[in-house]
């Protein structure tokens, strides 16, 4: 469904060009959950911005269902690290924003937004403003907003990054449940190996700058999964293997 071919990217800085990504190729099948792990500064966010059509790579191409992606596309949604809600809008109006931009009539708009708010467990908070929500709740709103266009691909950039460990695990499990009700494929950048094992069908390991894919792991844990799956023997094995590959990508000899 999504195919990226030989993507390289260099930033122009005051100190000269800075290579962020080096020849990255990857494919994501329909409905697949892929996690991207890598050290900080491995160009994960850059890659996500390129896949979203927000940034033009120095080299390489991205295709979605056979169409080249060079600008934002309605089939792709992004959930950023900070929930980037509009503070002047209520939860309902924030979730409905994408439909509003597409000029979907008000009644249908609110109905669809309402359904998603219920899906992410925020029923009763439709009229609240973002400032009244906790970090976890705000991220739920951002998830609901990104799902409202029924995207075929969801790009998540460390969506649970700023949250505490407990909320994070809880939201991870919730995300699994939500994903199973949707048809979207997900590509999620994360720092947490256990999170990647819990969620993904496939884990890609990125090297330090310039980012290259140094390893791929198929997570063959049975679905539906829960937190227990990540802590199972097989889950532990996978996590250890991913950690080892991350570590070797960090070593100076690499």
Partner 1 sequence: MQMTSSERQTAKLNALRMPPSLWNRLGLPLLTFAGFLLLWEAIVRVGNYPAFILPGPGQVLRKLGLVLADGSLLLHTQATLLAVLGGLSVGFVVATALGYALAKSVTVERALSPYLVASQAIPIVAIAPLLVIWFGPGLFSKVLICALIVFFPILINTIAGLRGVPRELHELMRMLRASRWQIFTKLEVPAALPVLTAGLKVGATLSVIGAVVGEFAGANAGLGYMISVADGQYDVARMFVGVFTLAALALTLYGLVDLIEKRLLAWRQAGLRNSE
CB-wise, 51 or 196, nearer to partner 1? 51
Q: Scanning the structure block, which residue is given the tokens 């799902």?
A: 147
Q: Which of 65, 67, 132, 150 binds partner 1 (CB under 8 A)?
A: 132
C-beta of residue 78 within 8 angstroms of C-beta of residue 52 = yes
CB-wise, 50 or 213, nearer to partner 1? 50
Tokens coding 149: 């266009």
Q: Which of 4, 7, 20, 125 binds partner 1 (CB under 8 A)?
A: 125
Sign for the pseudo-dihedral over CA of 98, 76, 59, 245: positive
**Which residues are CB-contacts of 233 (< 8 A; sequence separation ≥ 6)?**
none
If one asks whether residue 198 binds partner 1 (CB under 8 A), the answer comes out as no
If one asks whether residue 179 binds partner 1 (CB under 8 A), the answer comes out as no
Q: Strand, coil or helix: what is 180?
A: helix
C-beta of residue 23 within 8 angstroms of C-beta of residue 8 = yes
Q: Strand, coil or helix: what is 143?
A: helix
CB-wise, 86 or 250, nearer to partner 1? 86
Residues 211-240, one symbol each (x = binds partner 1 by CB under 8 A, - = not), give ------------------------------
Q: Which residues bind partner 1 (CB under 8 A)?
A: 52, 54, 71-72, 74, 76-78, 80, 82, 84, 86-89, 97-98, 100-102, 119-122, 125, 128-129, 131-134, 136-137, 140, 167, 170, 174, 177-178
């Amino acid at each position: 469904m999504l195919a990226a071919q030989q993507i390289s990217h260099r930033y122009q800085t005051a100190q000269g060009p800075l290579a962020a990504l080096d020849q990255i190729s990857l494919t994501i099948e329909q409905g697949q959950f892929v996690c991207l792990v890598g050290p900080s500064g491995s160009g994960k966010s850059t890659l996500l911005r390129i896949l979203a059509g927000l940034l033009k790579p120095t080299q390489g191409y991205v295709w979605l269902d056979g169409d080249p992606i060079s600008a934002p596309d309605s089939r792709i949604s992004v959930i950023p690290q900070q929930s980037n809600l509009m503070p002047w809008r209520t939860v309902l109006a924030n979730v409905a924003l994408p439909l509003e931009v597409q000029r979907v009539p008000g009644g249908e708009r609110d109905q669809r937004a309402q359904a998603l708010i219920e899906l992410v467990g925020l029923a009763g908070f439709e009229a609240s403003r973002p400032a009244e929500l906790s970090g976890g709740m705000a991220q739920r709103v951002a998830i609901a907003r990104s799902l409202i266009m029924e995207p075929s691909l969801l790009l998540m950039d460390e969506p649970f990054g700023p949250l505490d460990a407990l909320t994070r695990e809880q939201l991870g499990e919730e995300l699994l449940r939500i994903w199973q009700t949707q048809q979207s494929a997900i590509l999620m950048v994360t720092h947490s190996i256990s999170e990647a094992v819990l969620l993904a069908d496939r884990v890609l390991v990125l090297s330090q700058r310039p980012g290259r894919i140094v390893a791929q792991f198929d997570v063959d844990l049975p679905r539906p999964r829960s937190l227990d799956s990540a802590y199972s023997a097989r889950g532990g094995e996978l996590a250890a293997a991913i950690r080892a590959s991350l570590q070797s990508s960090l070593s100076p000899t690499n």
